Copies of this chain bind each other. A is one copy, B any other.
Amino acid sequence: MTLAEENYLKTIFHLERKLKSEVSTNALAERMQTRASSVTDMMQKLADKKMLVYKKYKGVQLTEKGKKAAAYVVRKHRLWEVFLVDKLNFHWDEVHEIAEQMEHINSVELIKRLDAFLGHPDFDPHGDPIPDKDGNIKKAEKRLLSELIKNQIGICVGVKESSPEYLQYLDKKKISIGTKINVLGKEFFDGSMMIQAGRDQFFVSKQIAENLYVQTN
């Protein structure tokens, strides 16, 4: 498995879950910042390797083999993210690019030990689930703050969109990964909420609430 192949598989894996259908050439090209023709080339190659089913003009679908390979790349990526945040004290929004490189390191024993070293985590610092060695994914328990109802409690596990402005806002309100958020009240007509975040109580607009992932339980 080359680096490029791993990246394609990973991206198809993500797109399949998002779109819940075959993945089109253009969708892939956009996500991978490449051209449709390059995608076609790679699809043919991955189809030859039985990683996916490719039908001309009809998009692709991962086989079991492909799914497993892709999930393993995702597993490695997310474990490294946990390492970077928990052990090297990176902030959770700085780790993606580095993990993007580390996910391609090839050693089963390394990942086994890393997993143990980190205490067999189930979720990465963004709240996304870490697939197990066999590619099974625990159902994500994260949802948007805006989905919560009065008196529900969530723990902040990530953001949906991370503009500097938004992150700065969260910073000012002292909301970060792990912050407990309690929904004190909710306005139906505009979706705004009164919340308690840590020690402080304040209002957040729908827009704010729609971009914050929390883990309920």
A105 x B101 contact (CB < 8 A) = yes
Cα distance A94–B113 in the bound complex, in angstroms: 13
A119–chain B nearest beta-carbon distance, Å = 13
| Interface residue SS majority, chain A | helix
A90 CB-CB contact with B under 8 Å: yes
Cα distance A98–B88 in the bound complex, in angstroms: 20
The chain B residue sitting closest to A114, CB to CB, is B88
A side interface size, CB within 8 A: 18
A89 CB-CB contact with B under 8 Å: yes
A104–chain B nearest beta-carbon distance, Å = 8
B102 x A88 contact (CB < 8 A) = no
B101 x A88 contact (CB < 8 A) = no
B107 x A105 contact (CB < 8 A) = no
A87 CB-CB contact with B under 8 Å: yes
A88 touches which of B90, B94, B97, B117 (Cβ 8 Å): B117
A107 touches which of B98, B107, B113, B117 (Cβ 8 Å): B98
B98 x A113 contact (CB < 8 A) = no
| Residues from chain B with Cβ under 8 Å of A102 in the complex | 102, 105
A106 x B113 contact (CB < 8 A) = no
Encode A17-49 as 1/0 by CB contact (under 8 A) with B. Answer: 000000000000000000000000000000000
Known: A89-B113, A101-B106. 16 other contacts (CB 8 A): A84-B110, A87-B117, A88-B110, A88-B113, A88-B114, A88-B117, A90-B109, A90-B113, A94-B109, A97-B107, A98-B105, A98-B107, A98-B110, A101-B105, A101-B107, A102-B102
Residues of A within 8 A of B (CB): 84, 87-90, 94, 97-98, 101-102, 105-107, 109-110, 113-114, 117
